[in-house]
Chain A
Amino acid sequence: MIEGVQIPDSGEIRILEKSWEKDEHFLRKEIGLALQETRFQDRLTVEETLGLFAGFYGLNQQRTREVLEIIQLESKRATWIVHLSGGQRQRLALGIAILPRPRILILDEPTTGLDPNARRDLWKILDDFKSTGTTLILTTHYMEEAEFLCERIVMMDQGKILADGTLGQLLDKFGEGDLIEYVIDGENPAAEANTLSGVLSSCWDAETGQGILTVNSISETLPKFLDLIKSFEVSLTSLECRRRTLDDLFLAMSGRHLDE
C-alpha cells in the first residue's frame, strides 16, 4: 500500500505530503521500488530493459549507462535477462528502482533467496547509494541486513510495532548483555553458573541439554564457565558465544522466530 500498488480499504497514506489518490503520477517519479522478486522479459538485454524503464521516466541513455555502472552490470549490458543469475537480476531490479534518482527508495525484501555473496554485493550498492541523500525504507526478515543498512529500525509483528529506534537503542532497551549458548551431556550446571560473576541470567532446557547464559562480558565470564563445566565432569557438545542480535530481540518480544 505504501508502494501505491494496492489500494487501502480505509485511511490515507501521505508521502512527501502527497497522497496516492490525488498525486499518483508525482509520487511514481519520486519513489523507487525494488520488490522481493521482479520479473523481466527474458529476451531483452540488461541495457534494453534499463532503457525501456528509463523511457517510462523520460530519462536518456546517459542515465542508463550511469546506473549500469552503479549496479556493476556493465559487463552484462548485452546479456539477455534469461541468462542472468538471481543476484544479477536483483541488482537490475535495484537499478530500475534508482533510475529516476528517487527521493525515497522502498526495498521490499530485496535479498531474499540470494546467496551470501550476492547479498553482500547488493548491500554494498545500497550502502553507497545511501550517501546520495535518498531515504531508504527497507523491509527485511534478515536482522543482519537491518543492522548493516538501517539507521532506524522499526520491528513489527502482525501489524503492530514492537520496537522503534536505532540499533543501539533497541539493543540497550530490550536486552543487555551478550550470550553464551551451550549444549552439554550430563548434570545441569545452570544453578552454579548463575553464581558466576558477570552472569546476568541463565536458562536451561533439561530435555535437549541446551542452556543460555546472558553475561556482561564474554571474555570475562567464559573462562570461569569452562572451569565450572570441567569441575562438573560433564561433556560439552556445543558452545557458541555471540552478541545479542535483533533476532533475539524479536524472539523475546513476539515469542516467535522471524521466519514463522
Chain B
Amino acid sequence: MNSTLFRLVISQFKLFFREPGVVFWSFGFPVVMAWILGIAFANKGEVMRNIAIVTENPAAVSALPQWLHKKTGTAAELSGESELEWEVGMNKGERARFRFRAMSEAEAVLSLKRGQISLWVEGSPGTNLSYRFDPDNADARLTYLLLETAFREKKSSELKAEIRPLTMVGIRYVDFLIPGLMAMSIMNACLWGIGWNLIELRIKKLLRRIVATPLRKSIFLFSHGLNRMILSAAEMLLLYVFAYFYFDIRIQGSLLALALVFLSGYCAFAGISILISSRVQNTQSGNGMINIVTMPMFILSGIFFSYHNFPDWLIPYVEVLPLTMLTNSLRGIITEGIGLTQVIQPSLGLFGIGAVCFALGLKFFRWH
C-alpha cells in the first residue's frame, strides 16, 4: 500500500478508537438496535386489547359476565369495580384477550388520544352495540373484527383447530430486519463516518494545513473511504455474529455475492458522502445535507417494514434508491439464498452511483 495512504488510514484508525463515543455508535448501536427491534417484534403472545365501554354508569360492566356467558358460552372475570377481562377462543383455534373498562365518553376520547385504547363501544348488553374507531387505524380494525366475531355467536372454549406458527429461519420479522439494519449501517457509516467527518475537518480548519502539502486530494479522500470501509466491514461482521448467535440467522446465499454487494453498496454511499461533503462550510448545512439524503431512504427503502405498502406509482422510484438496492440485495442473499448472478445488476448500479458521485465530489471538493 502507498506509504502516504497507509499512514493516513492508520492515523484515522487511531483517531477512531481514541473516541469511545464514536466506537460505541459505530459498533454497539447497530447491535443494540437489532436486539431491541428483534425482541420488540418477536412473537408477543396474545395481545391484551383494551376496550372502553362508554356509559354514565360504571357499574354497567358488572352485568357483562352474565351477558357474555349467555351469548358466547365463555366465562369472564371482573378485575376491578369497572373493569373486566375476557379471553375467548376464536375460529381456527386462535385466542383473543380483551379488557373492558367502563368510562364516560370524554374519558374514552382521552384514552384514545393517549393510545391506551383504539376503540370504544356504546350501548349496553342486550341492545344494539355501536363501535367507534378510526377506520384507517389497522389495529383498531383488527380489534373490531375480533370483538365482532367474538360477540356474534356461541363458541366452544375447546380448541378444535391448531395454529402452527411460522417461525422457520428466513421468514421471521428478524430475518427481514437484520439485512435492513446492515444496509442502514453501511449508509450511516458512510454518511456520518466519511461525510460528516470531512465536513467537521473543514469546519475545524484541520484541512488548511494539509492543503499546503503535496498530498493529492484523491489519496486523501480515498483514505477516508478505505478507513471507513474496513471499520464498516467489522461492524457488519459484529452485527452478523450477534444475529447468528442470538437470532439464529444464517446466510443462505453466496458469500461472494455478499462481499460484492457490501463493496458496491459501500462505494455508492462513500461516493455520495464525498459529494455532499465537498463544499459544506458549517454544521447546520452539513446536518441538513446528510439528513436530506438519509431520511427519505430511511423511510422509503424498506429497512424496518416492506415498501410494498406504499402506493404502486411510488414503488419503481423506491426501488432505484441506493439503500433499497442494497437492502434488497442483502435480504436476497441472507434470507432467500440468491447468488452472484442475481446481484450483479444492482451491484453495477451501486458501483455506478458511487463512481459518478466520487468523481463529482473530487471535482467540487474544497479544502477550506
Contacts and interface: CB of A to CB of B under 8 A. Distances in A.
Interface of A: 3-5, 25, 28-29, 31, 33, 35, 37-41, 43-44, 48, 51-58, 93, 96
A60 to B, nearest CB: 9
Given A38-B208, A43-B14, 15 more contacts: A3-B212, A28-B212, A33-B209, A39-B208, A40-B209, A41-B206, A43-B15, A43-B18, A53-B213, A55-B3, A55-B6, A55-B8, A56-B213, A56-B214, A58-B4
B237 interface: no
Nearest to A49: B11
A37 B209 CA distance: 10
Contact of B211 (A5, A29, A39, A58): A5
Contacts of A43: 14-15, 18-19
B204 interface: yes
B212 A44 contact: no
B206 A52 contact: no
Interface residues of B, number: 22
A43 B215 CA distance: 21
A115 B43 CA distance: 68
B141 interface: no
Contacts of B3: 55, 58
B14 A48 contact: yes
Contacts of B209: 33, 35, 38-40, 93, 96
B210 interface: yes
A44 B17 CA distance: 11
Contacts of B212: 3-5, 28, 31, 33
Contact of A39 (B18, B19, B205, B215): B205
A41 B14 CA distance: 11
B318 to A, nearest CB: 40
Nearest to B207: A39
A91 to B, nearest CB: 14
Contact of A44 (B6, B11, B211, B215): B11
Contacts of B6: 55
A5 B205 CA distance: 13
A4 B213 CA distance: 10
Most B C-beta atoms less than 10 A away, residue of A25, A28, A29, A56: A56
B7 A51 contact: yes
Most A C-beta atoms less than 10 A away, residue of B14, B205, B210, B212: B212
A195 to B, nearest CB: 58
B99 interface: no
A52 B8 contact: yes
B208 A52 contact: no
A172 to B, nearest CB: 37
B71 interface: no
Contacts of A40: 206, 209
A70 to B, nearest CB: 18
Given A43-B19, A55-B7, A57-B213, A35 B208 contact: yes
The 4 closest A-B pairs by CB, nearest first: A55-B7, A28-B214, A56-B213, A43-B18
A52 B6 CA distance: 10
A48 B9 CA distance: 12
B250 interface: no
Nearest to B212: A33
Nearest to A60: B3
A142 B4 CA distance: 37
Contacts of B210: 56
Contacts of B204: 39
15 contacts: A4-B212, A5-B211, A5-B368, A29-B214, A35-B209, A38-B209, A39-B206, A39-B208, A43-B18, A43-B19, A51-B7, A54-B7, A56-B4, A56-B215, A57-B213
B14 A55 contact: no
A48 B11 contact: yes
Contacts of A37: 205
A25 B15 contact: no
Contact of B7 (A25, A39, A52): A52
Nearest to B18: A43
A39 B7 CA distance: 19
Interface in B266-296: none
